[in-house]
Structure 1
Amino acid sequence: MLLISLFLATLFLAYSNGANDNFKGVATLFGSRTSSYQTAILWATFTTFAGAITATFFAGALIKNFSGKGLVPDAIANAPEFHIAVVIAAGLTVLIATLMGFPISTTHSLTGAILGAGLVAFGLQVNFALLGTYFILPLLLSPIIAISLGAGIYSLSNYINSKWHLPVNKKMIDTCHFISAGIVSFARGLNDTPKIVSLILIIEYFSIQGGMITIAIAMALGGLLNSQKVAVTMSEKITSMNHTQGLSANIVTGVLVIVASRFGLPVSTTYVSVGSIFGVGLIGKKTNTRIFYQILLSWILTLPTAAIISGITYRLLQG
């Protein structure tokens, strides 16, 4: 019964993840009116699914990191109650943010959930050093790097255009924009799917390949059915953008997330994507700082919210 509950809860987490995350890769397409909402979400769904399937072969490091092993003792990391508490807490945290229109990090939610259940189970025996090195530090650095690179890439493109007066080929820019959006979505599927799959691998009936496909389908459904509010926040509320700004932001996001996936670093696609969009908006002086600060607050609250829900859920499952 516990394993069935874990499977269903993991599907719920994957659905919530898709609802909050799937549109992030194509937000600049819709925001710059390069495409309609429908075209953007379909492109995101296809490329995210492709990234999820590719993760079967290349993302073993992330599966290991998010199984909980190393952060908490193996006896707890392998327990169904621990996994159920983590999955429920992360899923609820992400879904609440989605319904409010806030793009948050599933990575951060999972980190908080692992921490909360681990603290209840073993107190201060949680490996805080590993938590800081492999989770907190990348999560803090990724948006800062993305803002800097987003601003830098867009400034460089403006400088080149102003100095050499290069002709602007809109069709070429739009094509590159679509490709870059696909790369971002592909990278997100590559980076996020292993984190969720790691939570159901204690179920003997699941291979890594079967788990990847199941989670990828649930993520796709979440994006198709419940991504509208986050889409508006990402595409329109952070900053207005033109085609070149959107392309610049997507290049930064795609490169950073793919590099992180290659080295097993659990960066947040959300933080990188929001950071790069905000960065290009800063150069264009069109950012909505109030919205950005609200998003930052939602990021700050993500970890403790997931930790509290996870700790309570784990205690209830023990009772």
Structure 2
Amino acid sequence: MPNLKKPTLDKDLDKLSYMEEAAGSLGRGLIAPGIALVFIVLCALGAGASMSGAPGTVIIVAAAAIGAYMALNIGANDVANNVGPAVGSRAMTLLTALIIAAVFESAGALIAGGDVVSTISKGIIDPASVADANVFMAAMMAALVSSALWINLATWIGAPVSTTHSIVGGVMGAGIAAAGFSAVNWATMGGIAASWVISPFLGGLVAAGFLAFIKTFIIYQDDKIAAARKWVPVLIGVMSGTFASYLALKGLKKIVHIDMPMSLLLGVVVGLAVWAIVRPLIRRQSEGLENRNQSLRILFSVPLVCSAALLSFAHGANDVANAVGPLAAIVHTAELGDVAAKVSIPLWVMAVGAFGISFGLLLFGPRLIEMVGQQITKLNPMRAYCVSLSAAITVIVASGFGLPVSSTHIAVGAVFGVGFFREWYTERSKRRLDFVNQKQGNGNVVRPVRNREEQARRHLVRRAHFMTIVAAWVVTVPAAAVLSAGLYFVMVKLIA
């Protein structure tokens, strides 16, 4: 009988191999947090070097470290909405998306980022109620820490949340702790609360509307390629014009001031020009393509890549200032000793926000990108196009009506809208059923599903993710506020 026992040396070598594999796996998991920690330390050291000898240097160094941590979390969570649909539809790879988003986020922040920011975060707190410099700095630091911690938790559970709402909740909680409930502008807070519903609803409605148009006039046509040659240039022109207006209105405020009518006129001009340019290109690209849906996806891929880059640029230009606003306020107050309603953002502070977001995206962003692009509902280039276009259109419409909407809620709401519309359209659309039955040609007739269990099995939106994300949206402001209020009492003692 053969000896099945391993020699002692082999056993010991196996144990060492297992230990090496375990150590390697653990080490790989610590690489990203290690790089993030190095970035935070470098930001703190850089702030100390640039502010050496200035009043309140210690506070500024601490605030820079907190601001860097905040920026990393924004990159890990918020930027997924810009590139997630393009990745989920396989218009570009995850690595390409990370590089494009990182470059354009940084460019948007540094080139077109706002140079003046409201330190009380959109008028939530009465400046007179926190006029004492120490109280104000403690409130801003508490707001930064609480919003960063909340975004970190949301990223961990896989829920894309609004950065602006997190900061709003942090400022509100610290303001209440410092000066009481009377310090809060409740009318402004009411508008922000309304945006919880308005943002995703508008985003979903616009995205579903464009998907219905694509299905009706392109997908369910006998000659899909001929329909695509007619309508795809129009859709690309609409996207180009919309993004031109979006960037002019929201992304280039620092470079040039453009009002709503001028931005819309610019969008019309750009849209018509792009439509005229891409018509022959789409005709040439569609030559030889088979008359099926897979061929249509090729025509939407390049516009999706462009939209991801433009959304990232606009996000960097528009949202980074909000993220580093409390940090800029702390720097101003520590240096000059006075509380101002608006302050200029130093270049190094903007750099902390821009590069922090890029590092956060590269190190921790893939998880949320996959969530938005693949796990909520299945996306292809046509559906992802609807999501990206909806994000830009909804922001423009909301800005025209003065509604405080969240780009995160709009983009994710658009993904939900596309998924829920497909559920309805698959079961209820007579046009789709007639088209499918016409193509069957074998005598079998496809009918709507009546069985509830079968309908539940065919859900195209994962309900678990839907409930998790909506719950995170609802509790973002109150959770950040409660956490900030508690942190304020710790911060005020440390600063005093």
Under a length normalisation based on structure 1, what TM-score does the superposition of the two structures give?
0.90
Supply the distance in 2 between the matched residues of 1:306 and 1:69 (Cα, whole angstroms): 17
Q: 1:4 to 1:76 in 2, by over 3 A?
A: farther
Query: 1:86 corresponds to which letter in structure 2?
Result: A
Partner of 1:293: 467
1:174 partnered with 2:301: yes
For the residue of structure 1 that corresponds to 2:326, the secondary structure is coil
Could you tell me which residue of structure 2 aligns to residue 276 of structure 1?
A: 414
Secondary structure of the equivalent of 1:201?
Answer: helix
1:72 aligns with one of 126, 132, 138: 126
Are the counterparts in 2 of residues 30 and 235 from structure 1 also a CA contact under 8 Å?
A: yes
Which residue of structure 2 lines up, in the alignment, with residue 307 of structure 1? 481
Which string of whole-angstrom CA distances, capped at 9 and with x for unpartnered residues, describes residues 40-77 of structure 1?
111111222222234435x85xx227546552334527
- Tell me which amino acid in the other structure corresponds to 1:127: N
1:148 CA drift (Å): 0.6
1:154 aligned residue: 211
Deviates more, 1:76-85 or 1:204-213: 204-213
Alignment of 1:132 with 2:269, yes or no, is no
Would you say the 8 A contact 1:49–1:220 is kept in 2?
A: yes
Is the Cα–Cα contact under 8 Å of residues 22 and 220 in structure 1 kept in the other structure?
no
Higher relative contact order (CA 8 A, sep 6+): 1
Gaps of 5+ in 2: 1-57, 229-294, 336-342, 424-459
CA spacing shift, 1:68–1:311, aligned 2, 3 Å: farther
Residue matched to 1:109: 166
* Range moving further from structure 2, 91-100 or 77-86: 77-86
- Counterparts in 2 of 1:69 and 1:301: CA distance versus 1, 3 Å: closer
Alpha-carbon distance in structure 2 between the residues aligned to 1:153 and 1:51: 28
**DSSP-derived class of the 1:33 partner:** coil
Matches within 5 A, 1:221-232: 221-232=359-370
Say yes or no: does 1:52 pair with 2:190: no
What's the C-alpha RMSD, in Å, of the aligned pairs?
2.4
Pairwise CA distance, 1:141 = 1.1
Residue pair 1:71, 1:130 contacting (<8 A) in 2 also: no
Q: Distance in 2 between matches of 1:261 and 1:197?
A: 22
| Aligned AA (2:203) | A
Displacement of 1:113 in angstroms is 0.7
Deviation (angstroms), 1:213: 2.6
Farther-moved stretch of structure 1 (35-44 vs 46-55) = 46-55
Query: Which protein shows a greater Rg?
Result: 2
- The number of equivalent residue pairs is 315
Q: Distance in 2 between matches of 1:224 and 1:170?
A: 27
> How big is each residue's C-alpha offset from its partner over 1:162-190, in whole Å with a ceiling of 9 and x where there is no partner?
35741455443111111112222222222
Check 1:50–1:265 CA distance in 2 against 1; reply closer, same or farther (3 A cut).
farther
Partner in structure 2 of residue 193 of structure 1: 320
Match of 1:208 in 2: 345
Q: 3-state DSSP class of the match of 2:173?
A: helix
Letter of the structure 2 residue corresponding to residue 96 of structure 1: L
